[in-house]
């Protein structure tokens, strides 16, 4: 049964994530320590001892998620679990690329840290917002967003009945209210920037320059792309994807459907929580889904 490792994006983080793993796995502890050294920033403190508001800041949260997910994936490999496919949700795609040996861990950390800083500079904290719209048809969400003044639109196709909108805070609030009146349930996404919208287009030129400087190789494990919902096959396509991904919607539902069509029947989540596994179950109820803790349990790590 082909297995896919799925790497979570922002929104499901919590203070303390990864601390137990670092305590039980020396190799993982060393990777977290290395992340601090690479960034010259106390990432472990922010992840394990800081406040939820500090962790929510995208320039902190993006490298935190990357370090956690890469550590988890390497731990899974150490206990004998391997992946036939990889896919990441938004910033989770960087974790997938590191695991696929397409992007070195050090380069990925610098990229997501600078990506976060550029996002915060483009749209300061409090100016934008994101919200999950649950239980409403995507075409109706799109129609309602078009009736609102300001920038708001669909940022992520997560699963049937689970769509995320993003944009100006006031516009997101108005669109959310309209969707609520149409019968949707609205859940605010705890992030500090409106990802995957036109509001971030001003950061594309400087971010493109950073991507061009990073070292990429062809992925050794297929990584399904957020932008096109198809595998990234070479270094050039990886670079293009990471630039387009800044303001393009995340086609995660389409990516999961592609994996199911290719025979994937087991899905393992790397990252906090199990939200991406819930997306899987909406698309493929018979799939075997495992959060990291369950996937890692039962087999001792040879550390």
Where in the sequence numbering do the catalytic residues fall? 90, 196
**Residue 248, burial from CB neighbour count under 10 angstroms (0-12, 13-18, 19+):** middle
Instruction: Report how far Cα 103 is from the mean position of its chain's Cα atoms.
Output: 16
Instruction: Note the residue count of the chain.
Output: 303
Tell me the two tokens of residue 144: 């309602």
CA distance 123 to 244: 18
Run of H or E residues at 55:
helix 52-56
**Contact indicator for 131, 176 with CB cutoff of 8 Å:** yes
CA-based radius of gyration for the chain? 18
């Amino acid at each position: 049964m082909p297995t896919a490792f799925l790497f979570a994006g922002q929104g499901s983080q919590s203070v303390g994530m990864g601390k137990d793993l670092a305590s039980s796995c020396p190799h993982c502890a060393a990777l977290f320590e290395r992340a601090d050294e690479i960034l010259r920033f106390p990432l472990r403190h922010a992840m394990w001892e800081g406040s939820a508001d500090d962790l929510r800041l995208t320039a902190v949260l993006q490298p935190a998620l990357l370090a956690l997910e890469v550590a988890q994936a390497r731990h899974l490999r150490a206990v004998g679990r391997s992946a036939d496919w990889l896919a990441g949700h938004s910033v989770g795609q960087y974790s997938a690329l590191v695991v696929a040996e397409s992007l070195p861990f050090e380069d990925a950390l610098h990229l997501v840290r600078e990506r976060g800083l550029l996002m915060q500079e483009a749209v300061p904290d409090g100016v934008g917002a994101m919200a999950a719209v649950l239980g409403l048809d995507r075409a109706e969400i799109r129609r309602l967003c078009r009736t609102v003044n300001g920038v708001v639109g669909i940022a992520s196709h997560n699963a049937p009945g689970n769509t995320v909108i993003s944009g100006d805070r006031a516009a997101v609030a108005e669109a959310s209210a309209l969707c609520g009146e149409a019968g949707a349930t609205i859940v605010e996404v705890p992030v500090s920037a409106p990802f995957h919208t036109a509001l971030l287009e001003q950061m594309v030129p400087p971010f493109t320059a950073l991507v061009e400087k990073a070292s990429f190789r062809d992925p050794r494990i297929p990584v399904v792309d957020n932008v096109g919902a198809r595998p990234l096959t070479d270094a050039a396509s990886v670079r293009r994807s990471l630039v387009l991904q800044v303001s393009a919607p995340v086609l995660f539902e389409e990516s999961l459907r592609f994996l199911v069509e290719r025979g994937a029947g087991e899905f393992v989540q790397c990252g906090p929580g199990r939200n991406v596994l819930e997306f899987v179950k909406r698309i493929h109820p018979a799939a075997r889904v495992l959060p990291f803790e369950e996937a890692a349990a039962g087999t001792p790590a040879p550390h």
